[in-house]
Structure 1
Amino acid sequence: MKGQISDTGIIIPRVPERLRLGENDPYDPQIISFGPYHHGKPRLQDMEKYKWRYLEAILYRNTENPLERYITMMKDQETKIRSWYPHYFDISSEKFVEMMLLDSCFVVEYLLRCHQDFPDELSTILCMHNLIRYDILLLENQIPFFILNKIFELLSVTTSPPMDAHSSPLTDLAISYLNHATEQKVKLPPPEPVHHLLHLYHSFCLYTPKAEGESVTLDISAPVPYKGIPSATVLREAGIKFMRKEVAGSSLDVTFSNGKMEIPLLPVNAHTKPRLRNLVIFEQFYPNFRSDKSFSAYVEFINCLVTTPEDVALLYKEGIIHTCYGNKYAAGLLNQLNRGTAVKSKHYLTPLYLEVNKYRQNRKHKWRASLILSTFTFISLTTSDEEEGR
């Protein structure tokens, strides 16, 4: 079995049925495959011709390195690459090397063209870049980042000054692509090391500049509160106000203070479920994932907050949810985000849960005290009136 299991413990898994729950759309590529899991599917064949064209473009960028150099490098790395894909796939060594070379070269050339804003045939096809972005960030469609790096090293090209002294040029190129694709501007300290593009995207989505170096401190000895909080409409009845939070970084940065809950914008569209489900499932399989902030905790929070169409209507009115869907459909979609997944009992939103429930209890006690006082006052006044009448 030696050489058949990743020595780093990092794998690119298939999404198991217990997490698919009968659904394929959020996990299967729409137009292009990368890696072995969806290779050769008939509906993805139209993009194969572009992989050959991008390979030709890669060879043209540095004519000193012929195709044979790339093939030899890929053969040398074949065993290591295969160890990253734990599920069996029947493909010969020759076909595997060809597949990984074409897929890796396409990704590297695509990142270069996006960075250089280089127009080509793909740019003329409506929504093509959105579809590629969808597929390039699916868990089952990942390529080990180390092999992308080796392709990039053979190119010997320079792009721009590195964003970070410790990052690689290809990492900077990928961050540039994420900035462009998501219309954000994030100078992200990359994770060490980057395992694949979804891993980098995960770090990109969690990053908040102003929170750099900060961490959530939880009292480990404190009892764990009951899991979650009530829905948005129930919290509103308890006097809690909702506000849209404008953030420079992570959309997961939810806060609660003095009866006000601030939540960053949550777009609910065709990409919401695939995006969040792939990020959550990545966390489920990432070994020793230690960050308190996680998408697993965030989707649990959303699942608590949105249980009915009325919850969607409330958050839509406050500018927190943006969607063209009906309230019922949007509520059903958001309810499915954490199905089958697990989350640590203590995470970055645990202090928020504690504060929200404490606030509700205080409001309940004040309401009871006010009711008792009002009742006592009413009885006293009634008694006084009766005595005066006598």
Structure 2
Amino acid sequence: MSLYSILSSSDSEERWVNRISQYFEKEVVIHNVPVSVFSVPKAISAVKPEAYTPHVVAFGPYHHMQPKLYQMEKYKLAAIKSFLTLEQILNFQELVIEKMKKLEPVIRACYHKYLDHDGDALAWIVVIDGLFLLDILRGYGHVKRSQHKNLKQDAVLCRDVMMLENQIPVILLKEIRKNLQLTSAHDGDDLELFLMLRGFCQLHSPLKLARVSSTSPYSSFLHLLDLMYLLIVNHQATTTRPLEQAFCLEKTDGRADAVQHQSEEEGNDVILDVGEIVEMGKHLGIVRSVLKPVKVIQDMPWEKISNLLGLKMGNEHDKDNHPTVEEITIPSVSHLSKFAGVKFSHTAGSIGDMRFVQGEATLYLPIITLNANSEVVLRNLVAYELALSNSTGKLAQYVDFMCGIVDTAEDAQLLREKDIIRGDLSNEEIADLFNGMNRLSAKARNKTVDKINEYYNKRPMVKGYNFVKKRVFASWRILTLCSTILLLFFLMNSFCQVYGCPQFFGRIR
């Protein structure tokens, strides 16, 4: 077998030949069965692969046979037998397996990757994992808000359920329930199954979901992750503008955008460093003469001064341990608040209700609830959105936006105080979450970002810095001279604050 073959053995090759010839001769055509379970590209999973690979349990053929996950097999079977009748168990092969084998072309059509399993194995995998998923979902059908905490028994298990490569298509879940008579014969759309899936989404979604009435169409979603995605992107407040108005896609040159991003980020850092150095200067102005010169000099913000001068003191080895993650070009929450006076407020809607009102200098953001599994849910939702050929990238743009404005724990705290961020994660964990997610909509920008950047760059403090950067810091020679003078000034000022040097200054004059 070739090292790069999708087939694992000569038996697999034989199965492949038989299957292809059978399809060719019988002209098997699968209608209205779209591919819905995609494999996550390495370009997306490279930054954090563990967020896309199940840790405890596999659902479906992609990971079912992995040794580290197969130990759950006996627990799956025990859970399944616990809610089946004796008659169903005794006639399981005839009731379910044989009927699912007839749907082999449909099963294969749902999955993006080639499935190296014969018909029998594929039917058993789908039925076992499908029934185990249904067992997990049983408690979510009619859940009151007060009962939600009781359903959070295994956070790791629920996290695996939401992974893109771990989805079981709804068309197969409906078939399993119908064959075992777990649904009413008159309920063609299986409303009970929808209520269970929606209940799970309501409990584990980090963003608000669209309300669905009993008369709404609920049979068009493809699997659990697809349902959560549709409920998130279709949720609108009553007074919300359409998302297309808030997020207007504009093509841009990725290289130019990256250069601009780097320049503006450096500018933001310098502004913050200047502010902290000014505060330190005020502190030095009231230092008592009892302090030693060494202590005064030691207490000076040398790292901040060096950053201001472009002389980074950080350990270069840290760059290897923490790969650079690209983000959109936008100031952070703390910078917008400190240097542009931007206020923040939560909205009643979801991602479609996000907007910046320039007249109010207010950025309106949807409420997001972040818990232990939220990062995995967000990452897999976005990965699924990017896999859809007809997607506009709404969710990816929102996630990119949050990654751009939340850089530090201070940013997270400011949004928490405005009730925009909720949940159990600490401010540091929230900052790590958004800093660890790479930019996903690299070829698109939205008008909200452009409005904020335009407003921010017109603020007096920012304009002053941009002028200085353009006129003074353009030359490295001038920068070196300025840095030397600045360092000498701080040293001289610190020394004179302790010992006093009027005679020295008199000579200079």
TM-score, normalised relative to structure 2: 0.58
Quote the offset at 1:260 in angstroms.
1.1
Which residue number in structure 2 is paired with residue 187 of structure 1? Answer: 211
Q: Is the 8 A contact 1:6 1:84 kept in 2?
A: no
Which residue number in structure 2 is paired with residue 51 of structure 1? Answer: 76
Among 225, 233, 243, the alignment partner of 2:334 is 233
CA separation in 1, counterparts of 2:46 and 2:86? Answer: 45
Quote the offset at 1:167 in angstroms.
7.8
Among 103, 112, 134, the alignment partner of 1:86 is 112
Which residue number in structure 2 is paired with residue 354 of structure 1? Answer: 450
Q: Secondary structure at 1:15's aligned position in 2?
A: coil
CA separation in 2, counterparts of 1:18 and 1:260? Answer: 35
Quote the offset at 1:34 in angstroms.
0.4
CA gap 1:27/1:333 in 2 versus in 1, 3 angstroms: same
Q: Which one-letter code corresponds to 1:201 in the other structure?
A: M
Which residue number in structure 2 is paired with residue 178 of structure 1? Answer: 201
Q: Secondary structure at 1:128's aligned position in 2?
A: coil
Among 154, 162, 182, the alignment partner of 2:179 is 154
CA separation in 2, counterparts of 1:62 and 1:243? Answer: 60
TM-score, normalised relative to structure 1: 0.73
Which residue number in structure 2 is paired with residue 109 of structure 1? Answer: 135
Q: Is the 8 A contact 2:396 2:441 kept in 1?
A: yes
CA gap 1:146/1:233 in 2 versus in 1, 3 angstroms: same
Which residue number in structure 1 is paired with residue 46 of structure 2? Answer: 21
Q: Secondary structure at 1:338's aligned position in 2?
A: coil
Q: Which one-letter code corresponds to 1:241 in the other structure?
A: V
CA separation in 2, counterparts of 1:316 and 1:29? Answer: 30
Which residue number in structure 1 is paired with residue 470 of structure 2? Answer: none
Q: Secondary structure at 2:35's aligned position in 1?
A: coil
Alignment of 1:206 onto 2:233: yes
Among 381, 386, 398, the alignment partner of 1:279 is 381
Q: Is the 8 A contact 2:47 2:437 kept in 1?
A: no
Which residue number in structure 1 is paired with residue 473 of structure 2? Answer: none
Q: Secondary structure at 1:357's aligned position in 2?
A: helix
Q: Is the 8 A contact 1:299 1:338 kept in 2?
A: no
CA gap 1:223/1:89 in 2 versus in 1, 3 angstroms: closer
Q: Deviations over 1:87-110 (max 9, x none)?
A: 244333222211111111222233
Which residue number in structure 2 is paired with residue 375 of structure 1? Answer: none
Q: Deviations over 1:224-256 (max 9, x none)?
A: 796642222332234343434153x53664232
CA gap 1:186/1:152 in 2 versus in 1, 3 angstroms: farther
After TM superposition, the structure 1 = structure 2 runs for residues 127-138 of structure 1, keeping only pairs within 5 Å, are 128-138=153-163
**Bigger mean CA offset, 9-18 vs 212-221:** 212-221
Which residue number in structure 1 is paired with residue 436 of structure 2? Answer: 336
Quote the offset at 1:320 in angstroms.
3.5
CA gap 1:335/1:135 in 2 versus in 1, 3 angstroms: same
Q: Is the 8 A contact 1:202 1:279 kept in 2?
A: yes
Quote the offset at 1:39 in angstroms.
0.9
Which residue number in structure 2 is paired with residue 300 of structure 1? Answer: 400
Quote the offset at 1:81 in angstroms.
0.8
* Identity within the alignment, %: 25
Q: Secondary structure at 2:72's aligned position in 1?
A: helix
Aligned positions, number: 352
Q: Is the 8 A contact 1:232 1:305 kept in 2?
A: yes
Q: Is the 8 A contact 1:62 1:156 kept in 2?
A: no
CA separation in 1, counterparts of 2:74 and 2:108? Answer: 24
Q: Is the 8 A contact 2:339 2:461 kept in 1?
A: no
CA gap 1:230/1:158 in 2 versus in 1, 3 angstroms: same
Quote the offset at 1:21 in angstroms.
1.1
CA separation in 1, counterparts of 2:238 and 2:31? Answer: 33
Quote the offset at 1:352 in angstroms.
2.0
Larger Rg: 2
CA separation in 1, counterparts of 2:396 and 2:366? Answer: 17
Among 234, 256, 266, the alignment partner of 2:356 is 256
CA gap 1:313/1:60 in 2 versus in 1, 3 angstroms: same
CA separation in 2, counterparts of 1:72 and 1:328? Answer: 52
Q: Is the 8 A contact 1:256 1:352 kept in 2?
A: yes
Alignment of 1:95 onto 2:121: yes
Q: Is the 8 A contact 2:354 2:365 kept in 1?
A: yes
CA gap 1:47/1:97 in 2 versus in 1, 3 angstroms: same
CA separation in 1, counterparts of 2:190 and 2:196? Answer: 10
Q: Which one-letter code corresponds to 2:346 in the other structure?
A: K
CA gap 1:19/1:113 in 2 versus in 1, 3 angstroms: same
CA gap 1:210/1:268 in 2 versus in 1, 3 angstroms: closer
CA gap 1:204/1:282 in 2 versus in 1, 3 angstroms: same
**Structure 1: gaps spanning 5 or more residues:** 118-122, 369-390
